Structure 1
Amino acid sequence: MIPRLVLLTDRSQLRLGRGLVRTVRECAEAGLAAVVVREHDLEGPARAALVRALVAVPGLTVVSSRILEPAAHGLHLAAHQAPLPGVRWGRSCHSRADVGRAADAGASWATLSPYAVSASKPGYGPALPPEAYAGHPVPVLALGGIDVGNAADAVAAGAHGVAVMGAVMRAADPAGVVADLLRELR
Structure 2
Amino acid sequence: MDATLGRLHLITDTRLGRDPIGCVRAALAAHAAAGADVRAVTGPLVVQVRVEDDATDLDAYHLAVRVRELCAAAGATCLINDRLHVALAVAADGGHVGALDLPVAAARRVLGPGAILGATARTAGVARTAVADGASYLGVGPCYATTTKDGLPAPLGPAGLAAVTGAVLVPVVAIAGVTAARVTEVLAAGAHGVAVVGAVSGAADPGRAVTELLRELAGATKREHRIGDERGHRADGEPARDGVR
* TM norm structure 1: 0.89
2-side partners of 1:141 and 1:131: how far apart? 11
Deviates more, 1:128-137 or 1:150-159: 128-137
Whether the 8 Å contact between 1:76 and 1:90 is mirrored in structure 2 is: yes
Distance 2:62 2:10 in 1: 19
Distance in 1, Cα, partners of 2:188 & 2:57? 39
Return the structure number with greater relative CO, CA threshold 8 A, min gap 6.
1
Secondary structure of 1:24's aligned partner: helix
State the distance in 2 between where 1:11 and 1:175 align. 18
Match of 1:119 in 2: 147
Aligned residue number for residue 74 of structure 1: 94
Separation of aligned partners in 2, 1:147 and 1:160: 15
Letter in 2 for 1:43: T
* Contact residue 108 and residue 134 of structure 2 kept, 8 A: no
Q: Which amino acid aligns with 1:125?
A: A
Distance 1:126 1:156 in 2: 17
Displacement of 1:90 in angstroms is: 0.9
Alignment-derived partner of residue 38 in structure 1: 50
Q: For the residues of structure 2 that align with 1:181 and 1:97, how far apart are their CA atoms?
A: 30
- Pair 1:4-2:20 in alignment: no
Partner of 2:61: 48
Instruction: Give 3-state SS (helix, strand or coil) of 2:67's partner.
Output: helix
Q: Cα RMSD (Å) of the superposition?
A: 1.9
Output the CA distance in 1 between the equivalents of 2:58 and 2:127: 32
Partner residue, 2:231: none
Q: What code does the residue aligned with 1:97 have?
A: G
Provide closer, same or farther for how the CA distance between residues 2 and 119 of structure 1 changes in structure 2, counting only shifts above 3 A.
same
Instruction: Give 1:133 shift.
Output: 4.7
SS in 1 for 2:15: helix
Counterpart residue type for residue 66 of structure 2: A
**Match of 1:92, SS?**
strand
Query: What is the identity percentage for the equivalent residue pairs of Structure 1 and Structure 2?
Result: 32
Structure 1 residues 148 and 133: alpha-carbon distance in aligned structure 2, compared to 1, 3 A threshold? farther
Gaps of 5+ in 1: none
**How many residues are paired up?**
183
Q: Secondary structure at the match of 1:111?
A: strand
Is 1:107 matched up with 2:135? Answer: yes
Return 24-33 or 61-70, whichever deviates more: 24-33
Q: Work out which of the residue numbers 157, 166, 171 in structure 1 matches 2:189.
A: 157
Q: 1:33 to 1:126 in 2, by over 3 A?
A: closer
Q: For residue 121 of structure 1, report the CA deviation from its aligned partner.
A: 3.9
Per the alignment, do residues 146 and 63 of structure 1 end up closer, same or farther by CA in structure 2, a change over 3 Å counting? same
Q: Which runs of 5+ in 2 are unaligned?
A: 32-43, 219-245
> Larger % of helix: which?
2
- The CA distance in 1 between the partners of 2:211 and 2:149, in whole Å, is 24
Report the CA distance between 1:48 and its aligned residue.
1.0
Aligned to 1:61: 77
Structure 2-normalised TM-score? 0.69
> C-alpha displacement at 1:185, in angstroms?
0.5
Query: Which of structures 1 and 2 has the bigger CA Rg?
Result: 2
Partner of 2:21: 21
Q: SS of 1:7's equivalent?
A: strand
User: What is the CA-CA distance between 1:138 and the residue it aligns to?
Assistant: 1.0
